[in-house]
Amino acid sequence: MTRRVVHYIDSDTFGGSEEAALHLIASLDRSRWTPVLLHHRDPGIARMVRQAARLGVRACAVPRWGRSGLVGALPIWRELQTERPAIFHAHLSWPFACRHGIRAAWLARVPGIVGTGQLFVAPEAGRRPPPLVLGAYRRIMAVSEEVRRRYATDLRVPARKLVVVRNAIRIPARVPARDPAYRAALLDGRPDYLVLTPARMHPQKGHTYLLQAAAQVPNATFVLAGDGPLRAALEAEARDLGVAGRCVFLGERLDVADLLAAADLFVLPSLFEGLPVSVLEAMAAERPVIATAIGGTDEAVAHESTGLLVPPKDPAALAAAIRRLQNDPAAARRLAVAGRARVEREFSSDATASQVMAIYDQVLAEAGVSSGG
């Protein structure tokens, strides 16, 4: 029997959380589960809708209603009355995300309500997600031990409802080949070392510390792919630091695989993460990785084994790590090969999808519904 699972996102931008959701949706067994994407009509999410269509997944847009409580859930409730899913799967960019969708799923009596906790951003002091929202979940799948711990300690979600299901990606069979002309265009003909950071330009991602590190690393060009509210400020900072000529701001790009193939090094200077998909993609592309030693990221990058970890908000340490790999290609190659092997071994989206589908079966069994598998 094929059952329907509605995947719901309420974000208005496309980032790592949305990409992780797509990797999961693409890997579900379609003989058992028919996925539907439920989203709001935000231009920033159009990329996700297009990619879902390429996967053969039907996407349904619902109006975003600003009213609170159960009233705000009505547009989603109406859609769920039509879809009649066995599972409602909310993709949570923070603990308060998707709350209208969870209320709607509860009202529609969807048997299995689950969530994926992609990131833990602490709520304001004394503020908690409404009890109905937390209580409606049968499982919250945390993408890292760090996210699981925060849901347990900060929100007091019962341990029986929490399980770690790490982010994963669809791993290319071969490491993509480098296109010399493409790389030369990025470098504007300079014979520089190419450092790539593909990330939304938001305070979370720590770009300001990357630019300060760039000022300490000569003969390197820093390619920043992504857009966001800080872009203009970061471009101005690059000019103030005297590195604008070696910092390439590309804006949002769809050719990240080509950018990774062109890069000598991948750097992610985030201040906090869940478990970043971009790091997994860099490891799968066999690029050496430098990232910050923060919860979640350190579950993908093993320091001195599959990459280098540096303290967050520390431009000097970041610059030293970049210079080290710039000056030691053999070490960079060793880390890159080990990173690719680890992703193949531990972060395959097929294995993660199998784990998620087993959780679907478990929650349906708890609800007294046959999974049909």
Confidence (pLDDT) at 128: 67
pLDDT digits (tens, 9 = 90+) for 169-196: 999 999 989 999 999 999 998 889 999 9
Asked whether the whole model's pTM tops 0.85, one would answer yes
Confidence (pLDDT) at 209: 98
- Cα 231 to the center of its chain, rounded Å: 20
List, as own/partner pairs, every contact residues 231-237 make where C-beta atoms lie below 8 angstroms and the sequence separation is at least 24, other chains included.
231/201, 234/201, 234/207, 234/208, 237/208, 237/211
d(CA 183, CA 159): 48
The fraction of the chain above a pLDDT of 70, given in percent, is 96
The fraction of the chain above a pLDDT of 90, given in percent, is 85
Which residues does 119 contact at the CB level (< 8 Å), separation at least 6?
17, 92, 93, 94, 147, 272, 273, 274
Residues 217-235, mean pLDDT to the nearest whole number: 97
- Average per-residue pLDDT for the chain: 94
Residues 151-157, mean pLDDT to the nearest whole number: 92
Question: Does the pLDDT of residue 71 top 90, yes or no?
Answer: no
Question: Does the pLDDT of residue 66 top 80, yes or no?
Answer: no
pLDDT digits (tens, 9 = 90+) for 1-19: 899 999 999 999 998 889 9
Question: Does the pLDDT of residue 229 top 50, yes or no?
Answer: yes
Question: Does the pLDDT of residue 373 top 50, yes or no?
Answer: no
Q: Which residue has the higher pLDDT, 42 or 237?
A: 237
Confidence (pLDDT) at 138: 97
Domains recognised in the chain with CATH numbers: 3-170+348-366 (3.40.50.2000), 180-346 (3.40.50.2000)
What are the angstrom distances between the C-alpha of 284 and each of 21, 340, 357? 18, 5, 24
